[in-house]
Amino acid sequence: MKMNEKIQKKKNADLKRRMLYGILQVLIPVMVIITILFWHTRNVMKQEYMRTTQSRITDIASKIDAKLQDIYSVSDNFAANDQLKQYIEKEYSPQDQMYKKLDIVRIYSNIFEAYDMLNRRVRISAMYTYKGELFNLLDPNNDTEEVVRKLRDMNIEDPDLMMKFRWYPLQDNFFLSDRPEEVRQRKAVMGIRRIYSWEKSRYEYVQVFALKEQDIYEQYAELAQSIPGDIYVITGDGSLISSSSETAVEAGEIPEKLKGEILKQTENLTKGRETSGSQMIQVKDSDVNDWKIVMVVPMKSVTREVDVLYYRIFLVMLACVGICAIMIFYLYKSFMDPIGKLNASMKEVYGGNLNAYVEVKQKNEVGDMIRYYNSMLERINTNIIEGLQSDRKKKELELEVLMSQINPHFLYNTLENIVWMSNEAGRPDIGRTAASLGRMYRLSISGGQVIVPMEHEIEHLMAYVKIQKNRYKEDFSFDLRTDMRQIHELYSLKIILQPAVENSFLYGMAGLKHPMMIRLTVKEKGGWVMIKIMDNGRGMDREKLKEVRDQIRFGKIRKEEEEKNRRSTGIGLHSIEARIKLYFGVDRAVSIFSKKDTGTLTVIRIPRITREDIDDHGNLKENK
C-alpha cells in the first residue's frame, strides 16, 4: 500500500513538472522575442535622440559662434580708433590718477556708447598699453598691481600672439573689485588681442574682453532646461568655458572622467557616442576657434519610457507563469486544503484566539484529526472559563472582606440615636456631624453593589467633607469643580474619592499655618475619567514622596504610617490602586505628586463607565 502511494505521488510530481515545463517552453520564447523587439526599439530611440540633439547642439554652436564673431567685430572696429590712441599716448603721473579715471569714463561714454547706443554688444573690458598702463573700463578704481600681475600671468605680451585672439578658461572676473554673489555673474572668460600700430611699428596696447559666463549660458539656457542632462562649453584642451551645471561653473572645471573621454574620442563624439552604456555624449566644434560644445545625457533618461514598458511586460509574464503554476499545484493539492485550514487555525490559537474551530467535511483520517483538535479546543475553553469564574469569585470575596470590617447597618442605627440625643441635649452640631457620618455609611453600603453612580461617590465624599468642616471650621475649605450634567451619566468603583481626600488631611494638615484648601475636579478625557485632588497643604519632600508612592504600589507601610491610618478610615491610596486593578485591569491608576511646603496633587484614572456597562446587579459586565 505504501509502495503504491509513493508511486502515485511520483507520477503526480512528474506530471506537474511536465505541465510546468510545457508552459515555460511557450512563455520563454515569447519573452525572448519581446526582449529583442524592445532592444531594437531602444536602439532606434537612441539614434533618433542623437540626431535630434545633434541639430540642437549645432544650433547652440551657431549662437556661440555668432557671439564670438560679434566680439571679434567689436575688436576690429576699435583696433584703429584714433580717439583711443589719444588716451593711450597720454602720460599719467601718480598725481594724475584722478584724470586717468575721468579719461576712462570718457572712453566708455563718448566712444563705446556712441558705437553701441542700445548696449547690446560686448564691450572692451580693459586695455593694457605698451607703457604698462592699465585702463580698467569695468571698474576704473580697480587698477592695482594685483590686477596687472594677473594680466601678466596670462602672458598677454607673448610675441607669438601677433594680433590673434586668445581665450582663457573660466575664472573669477578679477577686473571687478566688488564681485557679484551669483556665480554666473562672477565668473568670466578672458579674451585678449594685441593691437599693432603700423604707423609706429609697434604693439600699442592689448584689448581684454571679460565675457561673463552668464552671457554664454544665455545662448543655450532654454535648451539646457529642457533636457535631462548637462551642456558644457570647453576649450580644445578640455578647460571649462561655460556649463549648464552651476556646480561645474563654481568649480571652474568639468569632471575629470568626462574630460578624458572627450579628449580621447573627439572624432567619434562629433557624431554622438554612448559611453559605457550609461550616458550619451555629443560634441560640436566651434567654427571660429577651438571651443567645443558638449552635451551629456544619461542614457536611462533617453530610453526611460521603453524600459518601463519592458519591465511591466516582464512582470506580467512572470505573473502569468505564477498563475499557471498555482493552477497546476491547486489541481493536485486540493486535498491539502483541510490541512491548510488546520494550520491556519493553530496559528490563530497561538495568537490567542481559542475559538478558531475548523469546519469538518471529510470522513477520513484528516477529518478525525480535525475533530480531535476541535474537541481539544473546547476542553481548553471550558477549563479557562471555569478558572476565570473562580478568580472572579475570589475577587468578590476579597472585596467583601475589605468592605465588611465593620457592620454598616449597626453603625448607621447607632448614629441615628446619637442625632436624636444631640437634638434633645441642644447640641445640633453634634447631630449634623453624626448625620453626615450616617449618610457616609449608608452610601458605603450601596445595596451591596460594587459599581455605583459617580453622583453617589461625590455625595459620599461631601458627607465626609461636612464632618471635617465641623472639625476644622475656618481652617479648611473645599472646592468641587465638575460638570454635574456630565457626571450624571458616569459610574465609578465605590469609595475611591473619600480616601484620596482623606490623604490630604493625613499629609498636609498637621502644623499648617494657613487654611487648608482642597480642590476636586472630575473630567472625561479620551475614554477615561480623570480625578484630580489638589491641596495647598504642607506637601512632602522627595524621600517622603517616594515612600508614599511605594506604599501605593506595594502596600508597604511603616509603623508611624500605621499609627496615622488608625486615625483614618483604613482604606488608603493602595486600596484604591488595588481595587481599580482588580476590577478594571488598569496598572498605575493612582499617581501622586508633591512639593514640600507647597501642596500635593493626587490623580486617579479609571475607565469611562456608563449605565450600559452595568448589569442588573450593579456589577461590571464581562465584555467591558
pLDDT at 406: 41
Mark whether 455 and 599 lie in a shared domain: yes
Q: Are strands 273-275 and 187-197 parallel, antiparallel or unpaired?
A: unpaired
Query: Does 390 lie in the same domain as 456?
Result: no
Asked if 324 and 197 sit in the same domain, the reply is no
What value does the mean pLDDT take over residues 357-363? Answer: 71
Residue 268 domain flag: no
Q: How far apart are the first and last CA of the chain?
A: 57
Average pLDDT, the chain: 78
Task: Classify residue 45: in a domain, yes or no.
Answer: no
- The residue-averaged pLDDT of 514-535 equals 90
In a domain, 295, yes or no: no
Segment among 2-16, 34-48, 434-448 with least mean pLDDT: 2-16
Residues whose CB falls within 8 Å of the CB of residue 534, separated by 6 or more in sequence, listed in order? 518, 519, 521, 599, 600, 601, 602
- Cα distance between residue 321 and residue 305, in whole Å: 25
Whether residue 287 lies inside any domain: the answer is no
Cα Rg for the chain, rounded, in angstroms? 49
CA 357 to CA 373: how far, in whole Å? 8
**Does any domain span residue 565?**
yes
Residue ending a domain, choose from 156, 183, 216: 216
CATH, residue 516: 3.30.565.10
- Domain for residue 427, yes or no? no
Domain end call among 216, 238, 255: 216
Contact (Cβ atoms closer than 8 angstroms) between residue 516 and residue 471: no
Residues 346 and 485 occupy one common structural domain: no
> What pLDDT is attached to residue 447?
54
Q: What is the pLDDT of residue 50?
A: 75
Please state, in angstroms and rounded to a whole number, the distance separating the CA atoms of residues 46 and 48: 5
Q: Say how many C-beta atoms besides its own lie within 10 A of residue 200's C-beta.
A: 11
Residue 129 has a pLDDT of 87
Please tell me whether residues 453 and 601 are part of one structural domain. yes
Q: Closest Cα partner for 124 from 247, 210, 205?
A: 210
What is the tens place of the pLDDT at every residue in 52-92?
778 888 889 999 999 999 888 888 888 877 777 777 777 77
DSSP structure class, residue 609: B
Q: Whole-angstrom Cα distance, residue 325 to residue 340?
A: 18
Same domain, 366 and 479: no
Q: Are 208 and 192 in contact (CB under 8 A)?
A: yes
The reply to whether 432 falls in a domain is no
Q: Which range is least confidently modeled, 134-148, 281-295, 373-387?
A: 373-387
Q: Helix or strand or coil: residue 369?
A: helix
Contact 496, 604 (CB under 8 A): yes
pLDDT higher than 60, residue 267: no
Same domain, 464 and 597: yes
Confidence of residue 563 (pLDDT cuts 50, 70, 90): low
| pLDDT value of position 213 | 92
pLDDT at position 404: 45
Q: Which residues contact 359 (CB under 8 A, 6 or more apart)?
A: 341
CB 280 within 8 Å of CB 54:
no
Question: Model confidence over 594-616: pLDDT tens digits?
Answer: 988 889 999 999 998 888 888 76
Among the candidates 339, 372, 398, a domain finishes at: 398
- For residues 494 and 558, membership in a common domain is answered with yes
Which pLDDT score is estimated for 586? Answer: 86
The model's pTM: 0.47
462 and 391 in a common domain:
no
Same domain, 177 and 99: yes
**Same domain for 94 and 203?**
yes
| Per-residue model confidence (pLDDT) at position 622 | 63
C-alpha angle with apex 449: 448 to 450, nearest 5 degrees? 120
Residue 511 lies in a domain: yes
DSSP string, 472-520: HGGGEEEEEEE-HHHHTT-EEESSSHHHHHHHHHHHHTTT-SS-EEEEE
203: containing domain: 80-216
Average pLDDT over residues 401-421: 53
User: Is 592 in the same domain as 454?
Assistant: yes
**Count of domains for the chain:** 3
When pLDDT is cut at 50, 70 and 90, the band that residue 212 belongs to is very high
